[in-house]
Structure 1
Amino acid sequence: MAHTGHSNLVSCFRSRLETYGETRNFTYLVESGRHLVEDVTTLTALDRSAREVAAWLGSRPEATRPVLLLFEPGLDFWRAFLGCVYAGVIAVPAPLPHDERSLSRVASILRDAGSGLALTSAKLRDVLAAGIDGLGLEHPIRCVAIDDGPLADPDDWTMPQIAPDAVAFLQYTSGSTGDPKGVGVTHGNVLSNEATIAEAVGVTDESVLVGWIPHFHDMGLISGMLAFFVGTNIVNMSPLAFLKQPIRMLKAVSDYRGTHAAAPNFAYDLIARRVTPEHLAGLDLSSWKAALNGAEPVRRRTVERITELLAPAGFAATVLRPTYGLAEVTLMATICGGVQRYLDADAEALEQNRYSPATQRSVSLVSSGAPAPGVDVRIVGPDTLEELPEDRVGEIWLRSPSVASGYRNRPEETLQRFEARTSGGDGPFLRTGDLGLLHDGELYVTGRRKDLLIINGRNLYPQDIEEFVQTVHPALAGARGVVISVDVNDAERLVLIQAVKDAVLDGLTYAELAASVKRDVARAFEVPAPGVVLVDRAGIHLTTSGKVQRASMRAAYLNSELSNVLHVSPVIG
């Protein structure tokens, strides 16, 4: 694996900028009516803005603690983020709050990170400050706009001394709203994983990166930093711009001769469903070298559909590259080498944690590729801690310089997850909590960490959704429910199985109640409308200690064995 010769991100990025700053651009495609217009800056100009922010941060006592970054998609985020990196300040990228629930999540992040300062834009400052002031936090939070006049003289900035193990940013996972987990990603972690990615997919100073993933998502953040790590051009647009018209990503690749892009499986599925051969007329995708597909389960049907659809525009069959990774290993752990492989696994054998070729009922598994450069992948029995041979299903364990430092303020969980050792004493490893198997040296992911739901590349915890549903109507308050994910037309969708208190329906029909749940959950969690099954109290399976039996409920739903059903509003694919 290539080494940068640098011990921190500041020295690495500035070295690249000295070489490529005037000849490489960061282009942001901004929506203007029905069109996208360019907002272009050279990497040199971005560097100067970052030094201005860094020089100002160096004078602020609040910057000794992690600094929250609340920005709309665009270049201002990168000015603020790089400013934090240049100052040796821990950055905390976060999604903009848009309602009470998301504002509550921001409050939880602020408490966990111990932040006293939030950077934003002049457009958002007053509304964010008012929202944060109303949260009742223990300590005041100062909101500062980086674009409201000069903050400091960029030339006053001096390069700090930063050790490789210093935390560069906190990547907050989509966990419980009241209990978020911040992954501490160090300068050394980022340098390691960017080198891994660059080597694995052939990113050079002549590459052009194209993307739309949110900057607070690990895939969006690390992909953006790759431009500064290598010294290359980058073209970005907002998630909304892509979701409105998926053809825009393809057009950006064609117009800017894009070479590399990354997205979750649902994005490629969206392109396959929304883009027609007529839309591709005039597009040339022959420059595209690697389209990374990760962040959620990769679907064989999606791989085959997107490859067939885009082939006439010059999209080679080897371009789509399924990958496996997670924030705890910075981003990438494994990647397909360009020749896509599948396993038609025997379903019953897989249920017994082993792979054998299908004889009757089969499950199609997609290879996530071999370990990326510098990453050691093991399959380990989650209970026995014994390393398992090929074709046996177990927990995926990882060892690499890219493995993050741990969870902020969670020493016990950090020890358990990031310092794991096999029964033979080999380690330390990161326990991912994901299940999979190795076959001919390649990883096939078979399951997910317990209870976690992955919808459109986002990790959602069922407890969050179940708690929210209790607020939709009094007939649901205090009643048990369970959220599961199911496969609908090769896409993960949510189904809510919920008990109802008939006595407080107050004239509302089951159909009207289900419609309210579908609408409110879709809006609150920004997911496709879930299926809703309403049952009476006896329809929810509980353990002897009163806990919901999620696996049992999911099996009952899939086998059409739910009992005490009152109403079914199916999930729409």
Structure 2
Amino acid sequence: MKDGQPMKYGLTDAPDLVTLFRDRVAAEPDTEAIAFLADSSDLSGGLVRWSYARLDAEARGRAAWLGEHLPRGSRVLLLHPGGLEFAAALFGCLYAGMIAVPAPLPGRYRHHRRRLAAIAEDSGAAAILTTAKELPEVREWMADVGVAAIPVVAGDEPTDTDPPSLADPVALDRTTTALLQYTSGSTGAPKGVVVRHDQLLFNAAEGMPALRWHGRAGGWLPLYHDMGLNQLIWPLLHGDGCVLMDPIAFVRRPVSWLRLIDAHDINMSFAPNFAFELCVRKVRDEDAAALDLSRWHLAGCGSEPIDPTVLTAFAAKFAVSGFRAEALAPVYGLAEATVYVSGHPGRPPVTHRVDLDALARGAFVPAASDDRQAREVVSCGPPTGACEVRVVDPETREELPEGQLGEIWLRGRSISPGYWRRDDENAEVFGAVTATGEGCHLRTGDLGALYEGELYVHGRIKDMIIVHGRNVYPQDIEQELRAQHPELGKAGVVFGGPGTVVGAEDEASAVVVTHEVSKVPADRLPALAAEIRNTVGREFGISVTAVALLKPGAVLRTTSGKVRRSAMRDLFREGRLTALYQDPQGVKDSHG
């Protein structure tokens, strides 16, 4: 093993991502690059570690096979459970000049299997990289859904490639496409976001200082998810290393994530809102008291609507563990912007109680008094150099002043050039022009406001319900219902609009509440449904057309944990949503 060499490049001047990573390999060949907790019950002995040199060799081995069998620029579907093999496959694709397509394993649910088939077809995948353990599942899925016959290779199986002849990286530059990051599909068919080397390097160069990035990173996030992918790539480029665990291990036992952070000196770990909420509910007080989370200085929360009450509860519960509220960093990002847009660590989360009546009129105004109906909304920090941020009226395309709610538009080097093979859509989504003629904006589809120099995100435009001319935001209703009715489960979906309840007195203003319930007796369900109606009427001044109470797990989610609002609306409208109890309109009763 050769001695370490000085780093030649940084994020701003590296000619491409692979050159920077190989520079890191040369500088720190024996330094631990990545570790994976193969056995979550054994925090020390269950950890498998790879140095930078080992990861480089593994990547070059995969690159050698890819270079021998595929032309440059081919799309390669990466189907891995996470951890070391995924990292080797990703960098193997980059070394060989291929386009990586990270995706979840097929699983057993039909909608997940169909979504993966759509990704394979849309990307034009020429090969699949997986592991020996997952190979039978992948082949069975291909046969089941009729995926075209393409090579499927287990990267961790021995090959005939002679190690001394392992492939060196091909010539690349910042304009080379590195990967296709497929969207979650929470509001439609998944689309492949084209991400080039320049977007990855620039976003990291802006995001790391803004988030005060230093120390070891890690956690359980799926690596095919955009936030999980950054949690892998950023520390590898920065020389920090990362420690990963199986997402399923976290879901089964949330305390395992926190124990990983404690045992392996993890300083930075990101997760969606639901993960923090799950820890509040599931981690026992005695387990919290046994943890040391004092070194966790960046607890990023994003990917789905952020509930400030969850952040407050998390900070309170784990104060006994040494966790500090200022470690919590609500962040905003999306795949189309190479993930990071804004976030502000180093202070407790900043929130405002926003007047609900004003919100219904599109104004972001703090409630003047405690007796006003209001919603607590959390800041995602001030815009940073990663993107220019504007809030725009989606109809007139006029830029809105501070304190007005509109569509978030972004512009800058972090923005993807577009969706893969979607030229008809790209001009509208990635080339939006304001009323004053300023072009090249990404229309995010997210609602938000700038207030006192900070960005507040408040749902999706497609999800907004208009009731008798008033704007109603479904996540506000869902949050209020869970706050007032502890019997409700962790997931619910409110939706509405024309055609939601056919035959309703006012179809255009129909509002439907669907929500999971947990351990509620059957004879209690009618009264609970009536109480839900009363709460929505009292707090929001609107009538609920229908209520459907569901068994746990019935709310559809994407692979990244977001509720599939449009899919739930379709199930309800088509009469295919099976409920434990429902009011008379629009949905089948499981007892009938």
- What residue number does 1:356 align with? 365
Change (3 A) 1:59 1:452: farther
TM-score (norm 2): 0.78
Deviations 1:53-84 (A, max 9, x none): 11221111266420011112231111111100
Q: How far apart in 1 are the matches of 2:230 and 2:408?
A: 22
- Counterpart of 2:150, as a letter, is I
Change (3 A) 1:105 1:567: closer
- What residue number does 1:506 align with? none
SS at match of 1:123: coil
SS at match of 1:141: coil
- What residue number does 1:435 align with? 447
- What residue number does 2:118 align with? 108
Change (3 A) 1:564 1:32: closer
Deviations 1:547-567 (A, max 9, x none): 99xxxxxxxxxxxx9874777
Please give the residue correspondences for 1:47-66 in structure 2 after superposition, counting only pairs within 5 Å: 47-61=56-70, 64-66=73-75
- What residue number does 2:399 align with? 387
Kept after mapping to 2: 8 A contact 1:496/1:530: no
SS at match of 1:229: helix
TM-score (norm 1): 0.80
Q: How far apart in 1 are the matches of 2:328 and 2:475?
A: 32
Change (3 A) 1:201 1:357: closer
Change (3 A) 1:444 1:495: closer
- What residue number does 1:44 align with? 53
SS at match of 1:259: strand
1:201, CA displacement in angstroms?
1.9
Change (3 A) 1:49 1:358: same
Q: 2:242 aligns with which of 234, 252, 277?
A: 234
Q: How far apart in 2 are the matches of 1:525 and 1:190?
A: 24
Please give the residue correspondences for 1:492-511 in structure 2 after superposition, counting only pairs within 5 Å: 492-494=491-493
Deviations 1:242-286 (A, max 9, x none): 112211222122211111110011111111112233112332222
Q: How far apart in 2 are the matches of 1:523 and 1:375?
A: 32
Q: Does 1:6 pair with 2:14?
A: yes
1:373, CA displacement in angstroms?
3.0
Kept after mapping to 1: 8 A contact 2:175/2:198: yes
- Counterpart of 2:392, as a letter, is V
Q: How far apart in 1 are the matches of 2:173 and 2:275?
A: 37
Change (3 A) 1:42 1:276: same
- What residue number does 1:489 align with? 482
Please give the residue correspondences for 1:58-97 in structure 2 after superposition, counting only pairs within 5 Å: 58-61=67-70, 64-97=73-106
- What residue number does 1:467 align with? none
Kept after mapping to 1: 8 A contact 2:217/2:266: yes
Q: How far apart in 2 are the matches of 1:201 and 1:530?
A: 30
- Counterpart of 2:161, as a letter, is A
Q: Does 1:313 pair with 2:321?
A: yes
Change (3 A) 1:566 1:112: closer
- What residue number does 1:277 align with? 285
1:413, CA displacement in angstroms?
1.1
- What residue number does 1:141 align with? 150
Kept after mapping to 1: 8 A contact 2:493/2:555: no
Q: Does 1:414 pair with 2:414?
A: no
Kept after mapping to 1: 8 A contact 2:60/2:169: no
Q: How far apart in 1 are the matches of 2:14 and 2:159?
A: 30
- What residue number does 1:185 align with? 195
Unaligned 5+ segments in structure 2 are 1-9, 466-473, 484-489, 503-521, 526-546, 576-581
1:159, CA displacement in angstroms?
2.4
Q: Does 1:266 pair with 2:259?
A: no
Q: Does 1:397 pair with 2:409?
A: yes
Q: 1:252 aligns with which of 257, 260, 267?
A: 260
Deviations 1:328-373 (A, max 9, x none): 0011101024332111111111111112221411111111111133
Kept after mapping to 1: 8 A contact 2:548/2:587: no
Kept after mapping to 1: 8 A contact 2:491/2:555: no
1:29, CA displacement in angstroms?
0.8
Q: 1:126 aligns with which of 119, 136, 140?
A: 136
Q: Does 1:342 pair with 2:351?
A: yes
Please give the residue correspondences for 1:526-541 in structure 2 after superposition, counting only pairs within 5 Å: none
Q: How far apart in 2 are the matches of 1:486 and 1:332?
A: 26
- Counterpart of 1:434, as a letter, is D
Unaligned 5+ segments in structure 1 are 454-481, 501-508, 541-546, 549-560
Q: How far apart in 2 are the matches of 1:292 and 1:109?
A: 28
Q: How far apart in 2 are the matches of 1:308 and 1:151?
A: 56
Kept after mapping to 2: 8 A contact 1:62/1:115: no
1:522, CA displacement in angstroms?
5.3
Kept after mapping to 1: 8 A contact 2:304/2:562: no
Q: How far apart in 1 are the matches of 2:23 and 2:459?
A: 42
Q: How far apart in 2 are the matches of 1:387 and 1:177?
A: 25
- What residue number does 1:212 align with? 220
- What residue number does 1:367 align with? 379
- What residue number does 1:464 align with? none
Q: How far apart in 2 are the matches of 1:345 and 1:323?
A: 19
Kept after mapping to 2: 8 A contact 1:66/1:115: yes
- Counterpart of 1:195, as a letter, is A
Deviations 1:281-302 (A, max 9, x none): 3322221111101001111111
Deviations 1:484-531 (A, max 9, x none): 98334266523699989xxxxxxxx9x9xx999847845896879999
- What residue number does 1:469 align with? none
Change (3 A) 1:105 1:434: same
Farther off after superposition, 33-42 or 343-352:
33-42
Change (3 A) 1:525 1:15: closer
- What residue number does 1:325 align with? 333
1:179, CA displacement in angstroms?
3.9
1:451, CA displacement in angstroms?
3.7
Q: How far apart in 2 are the matches of 1:402 and 1:216?
A: 19
Kept after mapping to 2: 8 A contact 1:493/1:530: no
Farther off after superposition, 28-37 or 108-117:
28-37
- What residue number does 2:469 align with? none
Change (3 A) 1:381 1:406: same
Change (3 A) 1:300 1:126: closer
- Counterpart of 2:449, as a letter, is L
1:568, CA displacement in angstroms?
7.5
1:164, CA displacement in angstroms?
1.2
Deviations 1:368-398 (A, max 9, x none): 1111333211111111111111001111011
1:196, CA displacement in angstroms?
2.1
Change (3 A) 1:352 1:68: same
Q: Does 1:117 pair with 2:127?
A: yes
Farther off after superposition, 280-289 or 76-85:
280-289
Kept after mapping to 2: 8 A contact 1:379/1:396: yes
1:87, CA displacement in angstroms?
1.1
- What residue number does 2:468 align with? none
Considering only aligned residues, what root-mean-square deviation do their CA atoms show, in Å?
A: 3.6
Farther off after superposition, 214-223 or 250-259:
250-259
Please give the residue correspondences for 1:529-568 in structure 2 after superposition, counting only pairs within 5 Å: 564=585
Kept after mapping to 2: 8 A contact 1:112/1:180: no
Q: 1:291 aligns with which of 288, 299, 321?
A: 299
- What residue number does 1:19 align with? 27
